[in-house]
């Protein structure tokens, strides 16, 4: 009895194993090699075409044969085992007499790294695809763009669930560009391929763009190309994959940012009565505080110099070496002229004092001379201000400048010089403020 039971148990195990076995499905894969032949990547007389994939754990793969009715198409059949519906990944490979030329990353659906199909229940012939998805004639180069979005995701500028990444540039006259897809090997990296027409050696400008559901966030000054600091690369003769770069060249999360101290010199504004240092508000605004929405960084004046107003803030989400724009705002009135700029350092920095509106002098003096009988009347005039005053001294090389009495807040001063001794009235004048 013991022997019989053992025998039947063994047979049952055999039957169970047979019931669980899944037969292999024959899948025919096809690839068009015409463009690769035209570009010189593939020589039908010396090279072969293979397909490698997860169906044999990315092993030796299978060699494809030319289609008898179309010599540009190569095809082969793989016996693929697995559960119906399971994803099978693969790539086509050119075997150049032992040197393997793989398809680029990003040739899969939606820019995925590898091609893929879902395992059917019955034998299947897959549609013909172009090697590297390159279907264009010679003179067109398939260029793969790559950008690391990890830091942008950390700082909140990019949400992989709702935003997309694009590459735009001179290759399509800065049009819609191409949408990049997340790499399966590294989810921080986004890749995409564009077929670019041009001669080898042509300089191509481009930038990456975050599309926030219709709102485009462009990179800043990230390269040497054009007035806007575009990225550049030189077009190759054959397909090329550009190195991975970081969006906005921001390679790490700056966290709290880099401390920057701004300084505004308000001397002229105070002297002219345009700014009261006791009650006025001077602030600095830029992209680091959304251009002062609703207000910027309020600066405070130094106890040792009431004309110098200073303040410090942390400039974050900006890579050291980037050009940062800013402007001062006085009591709600912006400075005129173009934005100011500075280059962000890698450590805390203090910017030199800058005059509001870049007005660093109190204006010019005008002199009117009149002869009345035996005297010479010399009238010095200037633009008045409550704290603008006239100063004088008899020599530019010696002595100290002295305030001229009764000139503060005035706009002119008349001096009487004896006609008989005009040198007695020889003086040098200047305007002074606070």
Q: Please write the tens of the pLDDT for every residue from 233-271.
A: 999 988 899 999 999 988 777 666 788 999 999 998 998
| Mean pLDDT in residue range 69-85 | 93
The reported pLDDT for the residue numbered 199 is 87
The answer to whether residues 153 and 180 belong to one domain is yes
Structural domain count, the chain: 4
Per-residue pLDDT, 386: 86
Among the listed residues 146, 147, 140, the one whose alpha carbon sits nearest the alpha carbon of residue 171: 140
In a domain, 392, yes or no: yes
Span of 156-170, 204-218, 249-263, 364-378 with lowest mean pLDDT: 249-263
Tens-place pLDDT, residues 319-341: 778 899 999 999 999 999 899 99
Report yes or no on 7 lying in a domain: no
**Is 208 inside any structural domain?**
yes
Q: Which domain holds residue 159?
A: 140-249
pLDDT at 15 over 50: no
> Counting beta carbons within 10 angstroms of the beta carbon of residue 328, is it exposed (0 to 12), middle (13 to 18) or buried (19 or more)?
buried
Residue 110 confidence (pLDDT) above 50: yes
Distance separating alpha carbons of residues 331 and 270, to the nearest angstrom: 13
Q: What's the CA angle centered on 291, arms 285 and 293, to 5 degrees?
A: 110
pTM over 0.85: no
CATH of residue 103's domain is 2.60.40.10
Is residue 304 in a domain?
Answer: yes
State how far the Cα of 183 lies from the Cα of 294, in Å rounded to an integer: 40
Are 309 and 205 part of one and the same domain? no
Give residue 395's pLDDT.
87
| Joined tokens for residue 79 | 């016996």
């Amino acid at each position: 009895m013991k022997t019989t039971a053992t025998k039947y148990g063994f047979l049952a195990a055999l039957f169970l194993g047979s019931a669980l076995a899944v037969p292999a499905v024959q899948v025919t894969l096809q690839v068009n090699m015409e463009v690769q032949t035209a570009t010189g990547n593939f020589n039908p007389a010396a090279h072969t075409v293979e397909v490698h994939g997860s169906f044999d754990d990315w092993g030796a793969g299978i060699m494809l044969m030319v289609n008898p009715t179309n010599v540009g198409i190569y095809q082969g059949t793989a016996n693929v085992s697995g559960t119906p519906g399971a994803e099978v990944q693969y790539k086509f490979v050119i075997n150049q007499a032992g040197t393997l030329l793989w398809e680029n990353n990003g040739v899969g659906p939606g820019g995925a790294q590898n091609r893929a199909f879902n395992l059917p229940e019955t034998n299947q012939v897959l549609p013909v695809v172009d090697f590297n998805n390159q279907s264009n004639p010679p003179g067109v180069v398939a260029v793969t763009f790559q950008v690391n979005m990890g830091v942008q995701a950390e700082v909140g500028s990019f949400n992989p669930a709702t935003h997309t990444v694009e590459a735009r540039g001179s290759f399509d006259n800065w049009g819609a560009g191409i949408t990049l897809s997340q790499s399966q090997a590294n989810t921080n990296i986004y890749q995409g391929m564009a077929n670019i027409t041009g001669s080898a050696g042509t300089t191509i400008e481009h930038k990456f763009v975050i599309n926030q559901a219709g709102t485009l966030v462009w990179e800043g000054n990230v390269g040497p190309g054009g007035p806007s600091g575009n990225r550049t690369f030189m077009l190759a003769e054959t397909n090329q994959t550009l190195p991975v770069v970081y969006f906005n060249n921001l390679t790490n999360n700056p966290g709290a940012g880099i401390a920057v101290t701004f300084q505004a010199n308000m001397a002229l504004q105070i002297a002219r009565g345009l700014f009261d240092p006791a009650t006025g508000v001077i602030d600095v605004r830029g992209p680091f505080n959304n251009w002062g929405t609703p207000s910027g960084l309020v600066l405070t004046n130094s106890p040792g110099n009431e004309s110098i107003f200073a303040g410090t803030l942390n400039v974050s989400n900006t890579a050291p070496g980037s050009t940062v724009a800013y402007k001062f705002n006085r009591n709600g009135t912006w400075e005129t002229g173009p934005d100011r700029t500075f280059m962000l350092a890698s450590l805390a920095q203090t910017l030199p004092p800058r005059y509001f509106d870049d007005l660093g002098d109190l204006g010019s003096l005008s002199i009117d001379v009149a002869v009345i009988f035996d005297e010479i009347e010399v009238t010095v005039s200037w633009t008045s201000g409550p704290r603008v005053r006239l100063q004088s001294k008899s020599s530019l090389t010696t002595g100290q400048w002295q305030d001229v009495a009764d000139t503060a807040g005035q706009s002119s001063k008349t001096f009487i010089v004896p006609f008989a001794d005009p040198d007695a009235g020889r003086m040098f004048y200047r305007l002074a403020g606070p």
